[in-house]
Amino acid sequence: MPHSNFLPTNPQQLTPCGFGEAVVSSTALSISHELFGFSAAELLAADRATISVQGTNAHIRWDGGDPSATAGFHLDTAGGAAHFVINGNANVNNIKVIRETGSDADISIQLEKIARR
């Protein structure tokens, strides 16, 4: 589950392992799409993704299916920016996003990995 508590709650135990940004339009965009700019190594290392959406509402899925303008987890930007966290490497690598309607959505994603000793 993306909201499970298997990840450490202490931020010092997480280290950044990649950052990407893309403008998302009316076609679902996968986290591995070249527009985000993540390398295969970054995606392989990622245990968590923190997502920020600006510009317009978006929908996200991490189950391998495609979101649409009306289907998927709704990220509402009415208060400025929407933020969401996805935990687990398989979930992170299945992230797909799409704008809801109107103008394009600006999506930023910070990848993090568990600092292993």
Q: Write the CATH number for 35.
A: 2.60.120.770
Question: Computed from CA positions of residues 47, 73, 10, 15, in that sequence, does the dihedral angle turn out positive or negative?
Answer: positive
In a domain, 69, yes or no: yes
Tens-digit pLDDT profile for the chain (117 aa)? 444 445 555 656 889 999 999 999 999 999 999 999 999 999 999 999 999 999 999 999 999 999 999 999 999 998 788 899 999 999 999 999 999 988 999 999 999 998 875
Helix (H) or strand (E) holding 7: none
Its domain, for residue 32, covers 14-114
In a domain, 7, yes or no: no
d(CA 53, CA 106): 6
pLDDT at 5 (0 to 100): 44
pLDDT at 87 (0 to 100): 94
Q: What amino acid is encoded at 49 in this protein?
A: A
pLDDT at 1 (0 to 100): 42
In a domain, 6, yes or no: no
d(CA 9, CA 63): 24
pLDDT at 58 (0 to 100): 95
Number of domains in the chain: 1
In a domain, 85, yes or no: yes
